[in-house]
Amino acid sequence: MLNSRVTTSLLQHPTSAAIRRAFISSSSSPSSSFLSSPLVRSGPLRFPTPTATTPSLLRHCSSDSHSSSSSSNPKSKLPNANPSSDKSTWRAMAEKDISRYLRQTHDRVFEHNRAWAAEKKKADPDFFANLSAGQTPEYLWIGCSDSRIPAEQITGLEPGDAFVHRNIANLVCNTDLNVMAVINYAVRHLKVKHIVVCGHYGCGGVKAAMSAKDLGILNPWLRNIRDVYRLHEKELDAIANEEERYNRLVELNVIEQCKNVVKTAGVQQSYAENSFPIVHGWVFGFNDGLLRDLQIDFEGMLKDIQKIYNLTES
């Protein structure tokens, strides 16, 4: 049973009326249990805002065959919530169903894992033996934590191809020991050949940094992006269109983080000795799923930086 505060929080969501209707429907009709609905089978749990064109919440939560049959059946539409219904009844039902939902979505990950492992082994019987022998990735990927941008999937890379670090707005801060340790290990021990800093248009972290709001613990983190704006203030202020200015800040943020990578001793020393790694700046677009190469002039950037940040001597 989930803590009642969790349930209360979920039920206070803007779409809570639709959620309550689903719970009421399941409690009043065992044969159409909420737990057998497509919502449970095809997470993650998302509640779209109901509109006149979205009469059924369940229709928007699945793309499987069950969803098709549900959306085509008029009886599958959620009934209207009864304001006078006993809140304790649907609230108890919510706790039970949410608890079961969380268990099912947890178990589904392991089902997918077993299917993936079986498929890999079938295609290559030595796949996991080779994987366990060690890693020699060609790439270090520094990206945003946004769940919609999985590095391997959008690039077609396989396990063992990329060493991955992700954080909010793909920042490379010299005070962040996490990213500094990742860069050091990737360069000095894994001998990566490419370091990619990948941002994305529509980045929530960049957008938050552009707002004049106190965001609590995020303030010191987002200040790094505000500093990027300050460095390029004239260029950005000259862009009248807000969305275009926002997208340009995404690109400039990637470029500045590439500079921060180049400032590290490991990258400078490895390049002086081995002519690698090369640093790249990319941006991912949700509208077409394509990566855009910002064409970073790595050698020129390195030369400019080393006037002040030269750390080639070990």
Half-sphere exposure of 295 (CA within 13 A, CB side): 0
Our answer to whether residue 144 is catalytic in this structure is: yes
**Given 20, 21, 59, 200, the catalytic residue:** 200
Instruction: Tell me the C-alpha to C-alpha distance, in Å, between residue 268 and each of 67, 84, 188, 193, 282.
Output: 54, 69, 11, 13, 21
Question: Does residue 14 have a cis bond before it (omega within 30 degrees)?
Answer: no
Burial class (CB in 10 A: 0-12, 13-18, 19+), 284: buried
Our answer to whether residue 146 is catalytic in this structure is: yes
Residue 298 CB neighbour total at 10 angstroms: 19
Our answer to whether residue 258 is catalytic in this structure is: no
**Given 46, 103, 114, 148, the catalytic residue:** 148
* Phi and psi at residue 196, to the nearest 5°: -110, 125
Helix (H) or strand (E) holding 224: helix 219-231
List, as one string, the DSSP characters of 283-294.
EE-TTT--EEE-
Q: What are the DSSP E strand ranges found in the chain?
A: 139-144, 162-167, 194-200, 278-284, 291-293
Of 285, 81, 253, which Cα lies nearest the Cα of 169? 253
Our answer to whether residue 61 is catalytic in this structure is: no
The helices-and-strands tally (H runs, E runs) of the chain is 14, 5
Measure the CA–CA gap between 139 and 64, rounded to whole angstroms: 36
Q: Which DSSP symbol is given to 76?
A: G
**Given 59, 61, 144, 198, the catalytic residue:** 144
**Given 61, 198, 203, 258, the catalytic residue:** 203
Burial class (CB in 10 A: 0-12, 13-18, 19+), 208: middle
Our answer to whether residue 21 is catalytic in this structure is: no
Residue 29 CB neighbour total at 10 angstroms: 11
**Given 146, 165, 166, 258, the catalytic residue:** 146
At 279, is the secondary structure helix, strand, or coil? strand
Instruction: List, by residue number, the catalytic residues.
Output: 144, 146, 148, 200, 203
